[in-house]
Amino acid sequence: MQELTIHNLRQIDQYRWLVPRQGKMRTDGMLFLDRKLLEHVKNDKSITQVANVAWLPGIVGRSLAMPDMHQGYGFPIGGVAAFDPDEGVVSPGGVGYDINCGVRLLRSSLVKDEIKDEIANLVNSLFSNIPSGVGSRQPHLKLNKKELKKVLATGAQWAVKNGFGSQDDLLHIEESGCLGWADPEAVSERALDRGQAQLGTLGSGNHFVEVGYVDTIFEEKIAKGIGLFKGQVTVIIHTGSRGLGHQVCGDNIRLLQNTSRKYHFDLPDRELCCAPVHSDEGMQYLAAMAAAANFAFANRQLITDEVRRTFEQVFGLGAQKMGLQLVYDVCHNIAKYETHEVDGKQREVVVHRKGATRAFPAHHPKVPAAYQETGQPVLIPGDMGRYSYVLVGTDRALKETFGSTCHGAGRLMSRHAAKKAAKGHNVTAELAELGVTVRGAGRATLIEEIPQAYKDVEDVVRVVHEAGLARKVARLRPLGVIKG
């Protein structure tokens, strides 16, 4: 397909841009952007990628992109698409390499002033207790393969069963922390080898643990309903399925590149390799992807347990007394069976969210009981120097985006460009001037993750709020961050 630019778009309103169906596209595309964010993507291939996704067989509704969109592998980061299980396909490019990269939020009964003098100690202790960085391994928990397969089958439920958290945690995780169709036998030996010692580790890149506080409340009633108040200390955990998930993706991309030829798919980009959902290859990928997703759920659960232990160590109080409770845990990179209204009828579809977050409204049957009146909490982290947001899902998102919204700020610079921009800067000292204590596995990680490398998450959140895809509830500011 001819590369699409902003000149090929049709503006629907201030926050919606149509990518009109053309050529072999089976449907339109829709971008949720304002003019400022549109400028950020005019020089990458993400608009073309939205159109390319619309070529795929069995796509239902539009090919979508959220306001944090940027160029990715196959699908754009921020891409959302749903497929009919009988006529459609599943594509690893619609999930990504870091399967079930996701984010969870802990709230506490502590307030900012109670911990400000211990931030450096707390950050150093978290960094010491949570293995971080490329290839990081958990020295205290190397599972044999039989036990690892139990993790892949049951996710966060395995973690709770083995003493890493409580049943209450499971009530506050998307899909209760387990995709039930996972099959550990669909995961390669190489993937198992890579994951064996990585449960409970943070990894590298944009993954982090952040201690912060609630600095602004936008909707008092909803904030109260999800347990947030101004000045409250919070913890955000952002990580995924580590080397195991990366291997699962790589294994299945190689498998499905051959499959695409087998089924004579006419694809505009080989990165969109795919298989019919109900084919042997499609079911193999979905089973392995779900197993990797379960690993990620368990991984975040173990890190949560370590966060609680570290707070106890630093403050000399029990986790319950500090009120360190899980608010919610959402997936960013996932493909799942969900039921949505399509053309006036309820239908099961396979929703791909790649760098996008589920955002279901109040009273939706998939929203936990605790949030039936508020809607599902939606967690949107920013960069380590500014702020993050808590929102809730809406009915409009359910109608327009299969209940999806953005997942973060979205990169503005490549890692290489960030390194050039950070040359001569002392990132740690500059963040300290902003009131943020940071520890990273290496200087390279910190300079790749400078705040300037990301869009301002406030711009992204404003679009989803004004477009009606989620409602702003609270803003969080960082006090201390550990990075991989």
Active centre residues (catalytic): 407
What would the DSSP string read from start to end of 323-356? T-EEEEEEESEEEEEEEEEETTEEEEEEEEEESE
Rounded-to-integer distance, Cα 193 and Cα 185, Å:
14
User: What is the Cα–Cα distance from 461 to 409, expressed in whole angstroms?
Assistant: 8
Cα–Cα distance for residue pair 317/320, rounded to 1 Å: 8
Closest CA relative to residue 419, chosen from 386, 444, 455: 444
Write the DSSP string, 131-174: --STT---TT----HHHHHHHHHHTHHHHHHTTSS-HHHHTTBG
3-state secondary structure of 462: helix
CA gap 18, 258 in Å, rounded: 33
Distances in Å between the Cα of 233 and the Cα atoms of 90, 181, 305, 480 are 40, 36, 17, 11
- Per-state percent for the chain, helix, strand, coil, to nearest 5: 35, 25, 35
Joined together, the tokens standing for residue 240 give 């995924």
* 153 contacts 305 by C-beta, under 8 angstroms: no
Q: Which residues contact 383 (CB under 8 A, 6 or more apart)?
A: 409, 449, 450, 451, 453, 454, 457
Q: What is the DSSP string of 236-298?
A: EEEE--HHHHHHHHHHHHHHHHHHHHHTT---S-GGG--EETTSHHHHHHHHHHHHHHHHHHH
Q: Are strands 232-239 and 208-217 parallel, antiparallel or unpaired?
A: antiparallel
